[in-house]
Amino acid sequence: MQEMVDSMMSHPFSAVLAYFSVGILALIVFLSCFEWVTKYDGWSEIRKGNLSAAMATGGKIFGICNIFRFSIEANDTIYQSMLWSAVGFVLLLVAYFLFEFLTPVFRIDDEIGRDNRAVGFLAMVLSVSLSYIIGAAVI
């Protein structure tokens, strides 16, 4: 099986399709995990026009994809990329919980649910920024 995958990955077009497919799957799984731990329903809030939920979700999407990008660049096989992107995602999730914990004056999820755009923007910038640090570290 490993030899077949390695043979497939030696062709640039096949490699692009494989990384794209795995990246989309990782995005769906990891974003679902974020949706599961937030107190608000992100997609429902976005449907209602909640810009802060859209910014926070967009930051999470960018962060997840950016970490996966770094893991592709830094690793030799798709298996290593998947492993390191999962590690990176866990770190991004930990950062999300720390952000919630380290802001005792208000609850991040509650503020985003109320469309506090300043908090939504801060959540987006935090996800994007930390994805660069995490991505650079996952090698």
Q: Rounded to two decimals, what is the model's pTM?
A: 0.88
Q: Using DSSP, how many helices (H) and how many strands (E) does the chain show?
A: 7, 0
Per-residue confidence in pLDDT tens, the chain, 139 aa: 667 766 776 778 888 898 899 999 999 999 999 999 988 899 999 999 999 999 999 999 999 999 999 999 987 788 888 999 999 999 999 999 998 888 888 899 999 999 999 999 999 999 999 999 999 998 7
Residues 6+ apart with CB under 8 A from 120: 51, 52, 53, 54, 55, 56, 111, 112
Q: How high is the pLDDT of residue 58?
A: 97
Q: How high is the pLDDT of residue 102?
A: 86
Give the pLDDT score at 103: 84
Q: What is the pLDDT of residue 7?
A: 72
CA distance 77 to 71: 10
Q: Compute and round to an integer the Cα radius of gyration of the chain.
A: 17
pLDDT at 79: 86
